[in-house]
């Protein structure tokens, strides 16, 4: 399930990892916890979402700073080092800042009584803060730029995007699919009711249908002024310019944290990430897992809790309203509730995913703030059309519905797109 065995180095130690998993997953599986430190107070930071959207896992890989460990594959010999820490992310002496300025620190007003001391303080602050150090080697040249002219561009390779792209390609329309994850499949890879095998099957079906799948490729901006509109896409080694007659946004939703004291402690992880580790990588993220949940996703949590229990974990579900805090030094060790303390070695947070609607908004699509949908969902009519001509949306970006319903929505909207093109 985890692919071919490879050796990587994380924080100076050689680890046995597997080619199909991310460096963050390999780190967690081998007991690695803290990956880096926050840039001001040097508080421990590590993975939360496992899908490239929270920045908790920024590390230096092969001399390049600020790469996401959860989106970097385990290539043989990969070298990972924590950032913003001395001497290491696990034991960071600079964490004294958090202790010394426990009531907060405004570096703009630090030692302003004396100009000499202020200059000195600024020098020290500049050395201690910031996000990573410059790369070991400067980029030699600009990356290649490839151009695509297609009938349909689908953004998002989760259940809705894969279903939509497969349908438009089978309908005879040239289709390109853009997905920012290590492997397409999205939430299919995180939910025990669907699973990794279904994700692989849907991905293979898309390729077989003729879809050009751009994996590990992020849609970074839509530029309407360029030739009727171009989507700029960044892959690790090149850039793409995509021109399409029809656009389908299937970007799904982001995992979000829930509001409770000390919810940023390492060891507090999105429930969907815990599902991804188990379903996609075969890694049980903890032996004693507390799931803090929002009632809106109770069915999803029930399925995840059953899968974690079946894998051997002790699982406790706690409604958000019961939680009063978390405990632990560099990793969560307990949840405080109104009924007392619950020991654990992992806290999973289950909330309604927030629609990933920035891209459609850039293309001028209207959005609606909808609490039940978890944020700003893209507004669509019954056919899946947005407020922008030739732009469609399907799946969780239009409001959370879960992987199975999202896939059905993707296929339904693709049928409408084919009808409109005809």
- For binding to ligand FES (CB under 6 A), which residues are involved? 24, 47-50, 52-57, 68, 70
Nearest to 74 by CA among 33, 140, 131, 29: 29
Instruction: Compare residues 70 and 407 and give the one whose CB is closer to ligand FES.
Output: 70
Nearest distance in Å: CB 397, ligand FES: 19
- The distance of closest approach from Cβ of residue 50 to ligand FES in the complex, given in angstroms and rounded to an integer, is 5
| Minimum distance from residue 9 beta carbon to ligand FES (Å) | 19
Q: How far is the CB of 268 from ligand FES (least distance, A)?
A: 12
Give the phi and the psi of residue 245 in degrees, each rounded to 5: -85, -30
Secondary structure of the chain: what % helix, strand, coil (to 5)? Answer: 30, 30, 40
Which C-beta is closer to ligand FES: that of 66 or that of 174?
Answer: 66
Question: Left, alpha or beta for 156 (phi > 0: left; psi -120 to 50: alpha)?
Answer: left
Shortest reach from residue 239's CB to ligand FES, in Å: 21
The minimum distance between CB 286 and ligand FES, in angstroms, equals 16
Least separation in angstroms between CB 197 and ligand FES: 24
Q: In terms of CB distance, is 248 or 270 closer to ligand FES?
A: 270
- Cis peptide upstream of residue 87 (ω within 30 degrees of 0): yes
Provide the 3-class DSSP secondary structure of residue 285.
coil
User: What Rg do the C-alpha atoms of the chain give, in angstroms?
Assistant: 22
Residue 55 or 309 having the CB closest to ligand FES: 55
Question: Of the two residues 47 and 247, which places its CB atom closer to ligand FES in the complex?
Answer: 47
Nearer residue to ligand FES within complex by CB, 55 or 381: 55
Q: At what angle do helices 159-170 and 196-209 cross, to 10 degrees?
A: 30
Cα separations (Å) of 400 from 60, 62, 160, 317, 370?
A: 34, 38, 12, 21, 10
| Residue nearer to ligand FES on the CB measure, 52 or 328 | 52
CB atoms within 10 A of CB 16: 12
User: What's the rounded Cα separation, in Å, for the pair 370 and 257?
Assistant: 17
Sign of CA dihedral 132, 135, 141, 143: negative
């Amino acid at each position: 399930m985890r692919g071919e065995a490879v050796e990587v180095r994380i924080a100076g130690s050689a680890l046995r990892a597997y080619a199909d998993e991310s460096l963050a997953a390999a780190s967690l599986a081998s007991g690695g916890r803290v990956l880096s430190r926050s840039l001001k107070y040097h508080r421990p930071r590590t993975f939360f979402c496992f899908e490239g959207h929270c920045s908790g896992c920024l590390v230096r890989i092969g001399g390049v700073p600020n790469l996401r460990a959860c989106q970097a594959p385990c290539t043989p010999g990969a070298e990972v080092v924590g950032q913003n820490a001395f001497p290491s992310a696990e034991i960071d002496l600079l964490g004294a800042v958090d202790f010394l300025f426990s009531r907060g620190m405004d570096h703009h007003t630090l030692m302003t009584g004396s100009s000499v001391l202020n200059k000195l303080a600024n020098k020290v602050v500049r050395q201690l803060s910031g996000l990573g150090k410059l790369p070991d080697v400067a980029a030699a040249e600009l990356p290649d730029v490839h151009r695509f002219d297609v009938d349909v561009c689908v953004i998002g390779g989760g259940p809705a995007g894969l279903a939509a792209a497969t349908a438009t390609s089978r309908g005879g329309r040239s289709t390109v699919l853009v997905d920012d994850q290590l492997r397409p499949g999205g939430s299919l890879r995180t939910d025990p009711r669907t699973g990794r095998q279904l994700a692989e099957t849907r991905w293979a079906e898309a390729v077989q249908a003729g879809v050009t799948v751009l994996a590990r490729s992020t849609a970074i901006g839509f530029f309407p002024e360029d030739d009727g509109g171009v989507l700029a896409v960044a892959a690790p080694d090149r850039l793409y310019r995509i021109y399409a007659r029809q656009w389908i946004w299937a970007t799904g939703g982001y995992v979000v944290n829930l509001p409770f004291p000390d919810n940023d402690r390492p060891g507090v992880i999105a429930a969907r990430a815990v599902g991804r580790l188990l379903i996609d990588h075969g890694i049980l993220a903890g032996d004693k897992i507390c799931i803090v949940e929002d009632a809106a996703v109770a069915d999803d949590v029930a399925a995840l809790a059953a899968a974690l229990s079946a894998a051997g974990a002790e699982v406790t579900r706690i409604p958000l309203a019961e939680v009063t805090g978390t405990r632990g030094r560099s990793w969560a060790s307990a949840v405080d509730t109104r009924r007392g303390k619950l020991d654990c070695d992992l806290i999973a947070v289950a909330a309604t995913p927030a629609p990933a609607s920035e891209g459609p908004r850039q293309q001028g699509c209207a959005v609606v703030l909808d609490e039940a949908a978890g944020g700003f969902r893209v507004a669509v009519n019954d056919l899946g059309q947005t407020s922008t001509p030739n732009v469609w949306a399907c799946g969780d970006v239009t409001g959370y519905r879960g992987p199975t319903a999202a896939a059905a929505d993707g296929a339904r909207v693709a049928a409408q797109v084919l009808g409109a093109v005809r």
